[in-house]
């Protein structure tokens, strides 16, 4: 009986001493936290989406407090978050640019022909590695929804026609889908920009093959650039690119494109 009591007393003394030592070490090795970091972290969205370019909200808060990141960097938080951080930092708030994911492909199951039956792992990444995609167009959307799985906000869903559909109300422009797509078909588009955008990512210059593979593909006729009264379209890179500093949203490219590749950003964002 005495042995049991002695053991309990010794265990309590050891536990007490360890507690004192842990408290002492905590005080000695404590890292002082900038109160601004904690305050900024409190107003962030908490999504840890990485849209700011940092590993998570904690890293972003520390970067803002040290002046290494802009106060408007939290894409999930939007303008309200930027204003709150500006007040904490005592600076003028930078305008939070609203961006949303835009799919640069119209190669649905109705338009783009399939290579055949794919029996591998049903992910876009796997299909791209195994057979360079499931469609004859090597640049087209594979359609297995890696973007949907990667979106932390539930803003992307696979549509009935085999293409991902973006809910612009839910999308915060974090860029997860941009990284997840092995065909690089997503871009983050500033929703305030006026003018058209070419919804195709096929860089091939084989016009007959493009027309055969996808009825919605741009086959590089160059009519859009020739017809544009402002000279705002460049097709030298294979895909029509619009210079929005010149574009006046006249819609000539939309009307003249035989494949209906162009859409007004305001109509789809």
Q: What is the pLDDT of residue 14?
A: 86
Q: What are the C-alpha distances in Å from 21 to residues 12, 15, 189, 243?
A: 14, 10, 55, 65
- The percent helix, strand, coil of the chain (3-state, each to 5) is 35, 10, 55
Secondary structure of residue 156 in the 3-state scheme: strand
* Beta bridge partners of residue 190, listed in sequence order: 99
Q: What are the C-alpha distances in Å from 226 to residues 50, 217, 231, 235, 266?
A: 41, 19, 8, 10, 23
DSSP codes of every residue in 82-96:
HHHHHHHHTSPPPP-
The answer to whether 269 touches 263, Cβ cutoff 8 Å, is: no
Is the dihedral angle over the CA atoms 160, 161, 164, 167 positive or is it negative? negative
pTM of the model: 0.78
The answer to whether 225 touches 212, Cβ cutoff 8 Å, is: no
* Sole residue written with tokens 């022909």: 113
Q: What is the pLDDT of residue 96?
A: 67
Tokens (6 digits) for 60: 């972003």
Which residue, 76, 108, 78, is CA-closest to 93?
78
Tokens (6 digits) for 201: 């990512």
Name the H helices within 29-77: 35-43, 57-65
Secondary structure of residue 9 in the 3-state scheme: helix
The torsion of the CA quartet 3, 6, 12, 16, rounded to 10 degrees, works out to -140
pLDDT in tens, the chain (269 residues): 577 777 878 788 888 888 887 887 777 765 566 788 889 999 888 888 888 888 889 999 999 988 898 888 888 888 888 889 989 988 876 666 788 999 999 999 999 999 999 999 999 999 999 999 999 999 999 999 999 999 999 999 999 999 999 999 999 999 999 999 999 999 999 999 999 999 999 999 898 899 899 999 998 999 999 999 999 999 988 899 999 999 999 999 999 999 999 999 999 98
Q: What is the pLDDT of residue 95?
A: 63
Tokens (6 digits) for 204: 């091939």
Phi-psi map region of 95: left, alpha, beta (phi>0 left; psi -120 to 50 alpha): beta
């Amino acid at each position: 009986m005495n042995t049991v009591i002695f053991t309990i007393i010794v265990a309590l003394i050891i536990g007490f001493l360890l507690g004192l030592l842990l408290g002492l070490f905590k005080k000695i090795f404590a890292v002082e936290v900038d109160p601004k970091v904690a305050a900024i972290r409190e107003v962030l969205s908490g999504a840890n989406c990485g849209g700011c370019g940092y590993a998570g909200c904690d890293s972003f808060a520390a970067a803002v407090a040290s002046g290494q990141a802009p106060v408007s960097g939290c894409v999930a938080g939007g303008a309200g978050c930027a204003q709150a951080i500006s007040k904490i930092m005592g600076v003028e708030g930078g305008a939070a640019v609203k961006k949303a994911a835009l799919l640069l492909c119209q190669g649905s199951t109705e338009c783009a022909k399939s290579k055949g039956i794919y029996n591998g792992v049903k992910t876009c990444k796997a299909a791209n590695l195994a057979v360079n995609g499931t469609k004859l167009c090597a640049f087209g959307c594979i359609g297995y929804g890696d973007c949907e799985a990667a979106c932390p906000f539930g803003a992307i869903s696979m549509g009935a026609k085999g293409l991902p559909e973006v809910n612009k109300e839910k999308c915060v422009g974090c860029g997860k889908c941009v990284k997840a797509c092995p065909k690089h078909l997503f871009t983050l588009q500033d929703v305030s920009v006026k003018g058209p955008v070419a919804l195709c990512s096929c860089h091939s210059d084989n016009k007959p093959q493009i027309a055969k593979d996808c009825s919605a593909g741009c086959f590089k006729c160059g009519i859009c650039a020739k017809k544009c009264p402002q000279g705002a379209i460049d097709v030298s890179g294979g895909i029509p690119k619009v210079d929005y500093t010149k574009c006046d949203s006249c819609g000539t490219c939309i009307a003249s494109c035989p494949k209906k590749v162009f859409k007004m950003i305001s109509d789809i964002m």
